[in-house]
Amino acid sequence: MNIAEEFLVKADEKAFDVPHRNTINYNIGKYNVAVARGLSKFENLEVSKRRAHVIKWRVMENLDKLLPEFESNFQKRGGKVIWANDAAEAQKEILQIIQRVGGKSVIKSKSMTTEEIHLNEFLEKHDIESLESDLGEYIVQLLGQAPYHIVTPAMHLSKEDIAKLFHEKFGTPIDATPEQLTQKARELLREKYLTADIGITGGNFLIADTGSIALTENEGNARLTTTFPKIHIAIVGIEKLVPSLTDLDLFWPLLSSHGTGQNLTVYNTILSGPRQANETDGPEEMYVILLDNGRTNLLAQKDQRQALYCIRCGACLNACPVYKNIGGHTYNTTYSGPIGSIITPHFKGMKEFKHLSYASSLCGKCSEVCPLKIDIHKMLLLNRRDAASSNENTAAENIGWNIWKKGMKKRSLMDFFSGKMKNFFLKTFFKKGWGKYREMPEVAPKSFAKRWEEHQKKQEKE
């Protein structure tokens, strides 16, 4: 079974999993209420979104200048920058840093880029303990799962599911409240901050003019991860740049309001290198790994590079009717939902992941809610175009579309087959794909054109 076939099987299962859908709809419903309240605080939301779009456009047009600017300014403060072309290079560099200091344990804050390079699995293979400190990430790590959602990794679980998990793992009461479960997680994790050799984070933004990384969070785990361990490694995609520190007054509120409905998240941190001589805390060494991993492939696509504007707020996932039915794990990618569907084929290969661009109703809701005004549904169409033009379709697809094209372009061919024959074809070839959960349509014995022709002849005779 290839990736596309596996997607269809999983989608079929999840779309009709009623408890799963109830949990997701409940959680997204709470999100919708919070976000509507958060967005109402903007004096002119549309202007803010346009401004953010233009800033990110300038970043992508000048990425070759802004990245060296960030690197230079970060190094002036004693930090070290490592460029990684792909996941394997990033893994290798991280392992070398850890092995150089004899590290055996890593504490991580929430980061989609570390998920992208499968860091936890890689470190485990080299006998290095890697522990997630974000509560949602910690829960899915205990379950041996990938994050379900860009912002809320455990969105697919109810409080009863989590209480059962903690009861099995740590002996907490089976009816423990969310507050009790959070307290238990805090007790388990606090010691790890003090004993971990390495702290690893992502980065919400790279600030070019100050050489800083900006972290956005609600639990404080990123601050602890970057404060106690002697070495801090930040893994950030090269597209996360903003030109100036002052741009955060726009991007921070856009990210928090669209991500969780807050005016600002609880903790917003700017880090500009390792601990300085006059500072009391922070790491002795700080590294920023600038990750490409397919991003320049997308950057080279002039029509589609705006997908790199994404600030990972998750708004398009919560708005997407397909995501709300099939869930995050079905996509089998780090980035799920509409944004994942447009960037993954460029990051990981159009041939294997072109099917994601077809997993959309093209309703346009994703484009409507995007805080960066990314034309997501148009990008989905462009991916479909690229898949077809590069002949990534299977032989069966090409034959099927060619037959359909010829039939649609010539009326006589459409009318050549009777309604009875058309119904036979529908029941024989399309029943499995289209008719599993619904009745197949019944084609009329004669086409409208044929009936109209007969009607006109009859009129003439009369």
Per-residue pLDDT tens over the stretch 11-29 = 989 998 999 999 999 999 9
How many C-beta neighbours within 10 Å does residue 141 have? 18
pLDDT > 80? residue 367 = yes
pLDDT tens, position by position, 250-278: 999 999 999 999 999 999 999 999 999 88
Q: Let me know if 174 is exposed, middle or buried by CB neighbors in 10 A (0-12, 13-18, 19+).
A: exposed
Q: Report whether 434 contacts 440 (CB < 8 A).
A: yes
Q: Confidence class of residue 408 from pLDDT cuts 50, 70 and 90?
A: confident
pLDDT tens, position by position, 311-356: 999 999 999 999 999 999 999 999 999 999 999 999 999 989 999 9
pLDDT > 90? residue 230 = yes
Contacts within 8 Å (CB) and 24+ apart, 16-24: 16/437, 20/156, 20/327, 21/324, 21/325, 23/155, 23/156, 23/157, 23/158, 24/155, 24/156, 24/324, 24/327
**DSSP, residue by residue, 317-356:** HHH-HHHHHH-SGGG-SSS-HHHHHHHHHHHH-HHHHGGG
pLDDT > 90? residue 450 = no
pLDDT tens, position by position, 93-151: 999 999 999 999 999 999 999 999 999 999 999 999 999 999 999 999 999 999 999 99
CA-based nearest residue to 149, from 259, 255, 239 = 259
pLDDT tens, position by position, 416-434: 777 778 888 888 877 777 7
**DSSP, residue by residue, 195-223:** H-SEEEE--SEEETTTTEEEEEESSSHHH
% of the chain at pLDDT higher than 90: 79
CA-based nearest residue to 165, from 198, 129, 141 = 141
Give strand pairing partners of 198.
106, 231
* Chain centre to alpha carbon of residue 62: 24
pLDDT at 401: 80
**DSSP, residue by residue, 398-422:** HHHHHHHHHHHH-HHHHHHS-HHHH
Write out the H or E segment, with its range, that includes residue 127.
Answer: none
Going from the N-terminus, what domains does the chain have, and what CATH number goes with each?
41-293 (3.40.50.10420), 409-461 (no CATH)
pLDDT tens, position by position, 16-73: 899 999 999 999 999 999 999 999 999 999 999 999 999 999 999 999 999 999 999 9
Q: How far is residue 350's CA from residue 390's CA, in Å, rounded to a whole number?
A: 9
H helices of 16-111, where?
18-39, 45-61, 63-76, 87-100
Residue 112, SS3?
helix
Q: Report whether 132 contacts 219 (CB < 8 A).
A: no
Q: Report whether 173 contacts 180 (CB < 8 A).
A: yes
Question: In angstroms, how far is the first alpha carbon of the chain from the final one?
Answer: 62
pLDDT > 90? residue 205 = yes
pLDDT at 420: 79
Q: Report whether 66 contacts 241 (CB < 8 A).
A: yes
pTM over 0.75: yes
pLDDT at 435: 76
Give strand pairing partners of 269.
215
Q: How far is residue 434's CA from residue 436's CA, in Å, rounded to a whole number?
A: 6
pLDDT at 343: 97
Q: What does each C-alpha distance from 370 to 174, 333, 379 come to in angstroms?
A: 39, 20, 13
Torsion of CA 156, 370, 30, 24, to 10 degrees: -20
Higher pLDDT, 347 or 441: 347
How many C-beta neighbours within 10 Å does residue 359 have? 22
What does the angle CA 285 – CA 291 – CA 105 come to, to the nearest 5 degrees?
A: 45
Radius of gyration of the chain (CA): 26
Write out the H or E segment, with its range, that includes residue 147.
Answer: none
Count CA within 13 A, CB hemisphere, residue 392.
Answer: 18
Q: Let me know if 96 is exposed, middle or buried by CB neighbors in 10 A (0-12, 13-18, 19+).
A: exposed
pLDDT at 223: 94
% of the chain at pLDDT higher than 70: 100
pLDDT at 380: 96
Higher pLDDT, 243 or 405: 243
Number of helices (H), then strands (E), in the chain: 24, 10
